[in-house]
Each structure stands twice: as structure tokens, then as C-alpha cells.
Amino acid sequence: MIRRFSTNFAVLALLLDTLSVLLGMQGAAQIRPLLSRWPDGVLFRPLFTPVAVPWALYMLFPIIWIGIMFFFAVYDGRKNLRVVDEFTSLTLSAMMASVALAGVLYLSYRTLSRGWFLTFVALTYGLLIGWRIPLRLWYRHRRRRLGHFHRILIVGAGEVGREVEATLRQYPDHIQIVGFLDDDPQKQAQHPDILGNLNAIRRVISKHRVTGVVFALPLWAHKRMEKLIWALFDLPVQVWIVPDYFQWTLHHAEVEDFSGIPMLNIRAPALTEYQRLPKRLFDLVVTSLLLIPALPLMGLISLAILLDDGPPVLFRQKRVGENGHIFIMYKFRTMVKDAEKLRHLVERVDENGHILHKHPNDPRITRVGRFLRRWSLDELPQLFNVLRGTMSLVGPRPEMPYLVEKYEPWQRKRFAVPQGITGWWQIHGRSDKPMHLHTEDDLYYIQHYSILLDIQILIKTFWSVLRGRGAY
């Protein structure tokens, strides 16, 4: 939809990345002898001269690494608008490139130093991120100083239009929402961001220097939308249409071909058996690996909780899982004892009647608990939920039963897949949005599920936790 950079910049990035790979290879060759001295030559065999890297690898390694970055769309100007998205793509491509290049060495130059290869991967990854950080900061400063933003007008201030607005506002460094157009007089009176009715579209585009228009109108306004689109063809604006099928989709929507006729299947199964089995295997393998460093850390956290507020260490709570199944979810206790009985101190109802049960200054949170929540360490015991199969690493967050009882029918679609420790919501809002108010994020995950998406979400979760945004 929106391009973060031009094709010329993509070419420049391609050259800089190629240079980064070459510098990583040469730098690792010079650094490798130093690894023999630490720690006392235990990890790496003694080597006192720089590694002689075959010239063939200087040709092959950049081609493979850059090719994998192309596969992960690192050079696609329409993606990676946010820094967390770009760093996730870079991390994924680095992981895949490491595996691919290790395979190349195994089949060719098997005697080449493993210490050199590990140093090369780490150094190259650092260089790829290193040149992007200052450039991103400079571009953001320049864009804000010159006002170079995509100015977007949304036609339709209903549910779909507001969802579009919420999504676009995640990119404040690139997009400015000019406002809405809507024919409903009541909405116009209640929302100052509605700049007029649909007939004012050309005037608003000219007055506010709009560069893009998003149509988010209901299905019954199809004819009206068609006329408006034709009326914009002589204006230099981009036009996008968001189809209003959201309220019909139960689990997963697919475009199917029936004798050459494209049809939208709005009741396709959420996960096929071919998807469910790899997801479970992925959960078991990754969770087992994560528990190796997590278990000692969990022991230290348990000791800290005991010293701060005494037992119990774990907090057990009933949650609603896949297909409405009730299970016990584990967390480290971060609140005072009997915190559930004090829920009324923080629970409130917003103007739309939604229950809000989280608060950044919750008086029930202990000193250790605030630290654990800040870095999401209280979630670690849920790895055992994953091993048991009651949860997945990635998926919609399991909700409390009393809140599920208040769900609207369409919100229950989020229980069509295994519930997860992290998910699409956490990397886009975390505690900034309560779970029952982010169902559209869960449905996006369900509709676009893949193992690759799970990996992307796990990596983005790592970056989101480091930033600490929205965690309380």
C-alpha cells in the first residue's frame, strides 16, 4: 500500500548489504586468531594468522545471503515500514542464510574454521542492522522536518473504516490520517475527524493535499463507491478498497476458483490437519530449546518472588482455550495474594460498555511483579502449558471465562485455533489494548496462518519485549 523507500534506495541498500557481507567475511578472517586466546583456547583451536578464505566464497556468499534477503522481501518498499518489521525480516534472513551457507561449506570447504564462520555470521548481521539504524533515524528526522508523509483520507467512518484507521496509525513516521468522509449526520456531529459527506471528496482532497484515499464503505454502498472512484481518476491520488466481508468471516476466508469464476469462501476451516501437525511439532521443538536457558532463570525468579512477598510463586487461572475448552494457565505471581478479590479496584467500563481490567498503575502489583511484567518474564511458566498442549507458542491470547461470557458472537471466532503465549496482538499493541478489544488482530492471524508467520511473530515479540512498549 505505502512504499517506505524508492527503487533507487533499494539498489543502494542492495550494494551496502553486499559490502556488509564482504566486510563480514574479511573482518572475521582477521578476528579469528584472537578467538584462540579466549577463553584459553578451549572453544577454538589455536590459530595465529588470519584465515585464508577462498576467493570463490567471496563470490558465492554475497549472492546466497542477498538472494535470501530478497526472498524475505527486505528490499520491498511496501513492507518493513516499522523498525520491528525490518529487523524481523533481517533476523529471519540471517538465520536462513546461516543454515544455507553452513551447508555450502559442508559440501565444499569443510576444513574452513568454524570459529571464522560463526564470527562472520555475527559480524555480518551486526553490519546489516548497523547501517540501517542511523539511516532510519536520519530519514525520520528529515521526513518530519519537511513534512513528507502519506496523507490518507478514509471514506467511511464505520467499523471497517475505524479498523483501517487503527492499522494505519501504527505507522506515524510514514502516514498521516487526514480524516474521514461519511454521510451519517449523527457520526458527523459526534466525531470531529469527519470532514464532510461523500460529495465533498474532491474538495477535501484538494484542501488537505491528500495523496491516498481508502474506501471502507459497507456493501450496500457499492454503487456509490463506484461513482466516487470514477470521479477521482483525474486526480493524482492512489485509491484502495477494503471489502466489508469482516462480519461474515467465521474462521478463514479463501478465494477459490470454480470453473474460472473467483469465489470467496467465508467459512473455510481455520487450520487444516496439514497445518496443525507442523504447528504442534514446531511448538514442541522450540519450547524444549527455550526451556534450556529458561529453567535456571525461572529458578531465580521464583526465589525473588519468595523473598519479596512469600509463597505462592505461581499464579494459576482458568482461561478459555481452543474451541472454548477451559484449562489452567500458569504465570509467575506478580500481584499481591488474593488479587482476584481486589479486581474491583482497577476494573472499569469504557463508554462502549467494554470491561477494562488492566491498568498501568495497578496497586495490586508487587515490586518484583512490576519488573517481571515490564520484561514479560511472568509468562515463562506458560512454556509448560505449551508442552501439555493446552496452549501454543503463537496464537490468540486465552481469555478469562467471565469476559468470554460477554463476547459478541463474532468475537468467539478467535477460539478457532490454539491459544498462544504471544500473537499478532502482542506485537502490535500488547497491553495498550485489552484482549477482548483486539479480536480483529486475532482474526488476521487466523486468516493468514503459516509456520513462517509464527516464526515472524516470535522474532517480533523479542524486539517488542526489548522495547517494553505497552507492557504492564
The answer to whether residue 409 is domain-embedded is: yes
The answer to whether residue 384 is domain-embedded is: yes
Q: How many domains does the structure of the chain reveal?
A: 3
Q: Give the span between the Cα atoms of 155 and 295, in whole angstroms.
A: 52
Q: Give the span between the Cα atoms of 449 and 393, in whole angstroms.
A: 13
The whole-number pLDDT of residue 100 equals: 92
User: Which regions in the chain score pLDDT beneath 50?
Assistant: 41, 250, 430-431, 436
The answer to whether residue 373 is domain-embedded is: yes
The whole domain housing 324 covers 273-467
Q: How far is CA 73 from the centre of its chain?
A: 15
What is the CATH classification number for the domain harbouring 224? 3.40.50.720
Residues 303 and 368 in one domain: yes
Kind of pairing between the strands at 355-356 and 348-349: antiparallel
Grid coordinates standing for 351?
A: 463508554
Residues 230 and 335 in one domain: no
Residues 131 and 172 in one domain: no
Which one-letter amino acid corresponds to residue 400?
M
The residue from 93, 116, 146 where one domain ends is: 146
190's CB contacts (< 8 A; 6+ apart) are none
Quickly tell me which residue has 490454539 as its cell.
418
Q: What pTM, to 2 d.p., does this model score?
A: 0.51
The whole-number pLDDT of residue 349 equals: 60
50-104 tens-digit pLDDT:
777 888 888 999 999 999 998 888 887 667 677 777 888 888 899 999 999 998 8
The answer to whether residue 249 is domain-embedded is: no
The answer to whether residue 353 is domain-embedded is: yes
The whole-number pLDDT of residue 238 equals: 85
Grid coordinates standing for 148?
A: 513528507
Quickly tell me which residue has 545471503 as its cell.
65
Residues 172 and 105 in one domain: no
Residues 128 and 67 in one domain: yes
Residues 72 and 38 in one domain: yes
The answer to whether residue 256 is domain-embedded is: no
The whole-number pLDDT of residue 348 equals: 62
The answer to whether residue 336 is domain-embedded is: yes
The residue from 146, 169, 196 where one domain ends is: 146
The residue from 146, 163, 184 where one domain ends is: 146
Residues 133 and 154 in one domain: no
The whole-number pLDDT of residue 385 equals: 94
Residues 394 and 283 in one domain: yes
* DSSP string covering 302-369: HHHHHHHH-S--EEEEEEE-GGG-EEEEEEE--B-TTGGGGGGGT-EE-TTS-EE---TT-TTB-HHH
The answer to whether residue 310 is domain-embedded is: yes
Residues 102 and 169 in one domain: no
Residues 322 and 436 in one domain: yes
Residues 129 and 158 in one domain: no
Grid coordinates standing for 46?
A: 589455536
Residues 155 and 60 in one domain: no
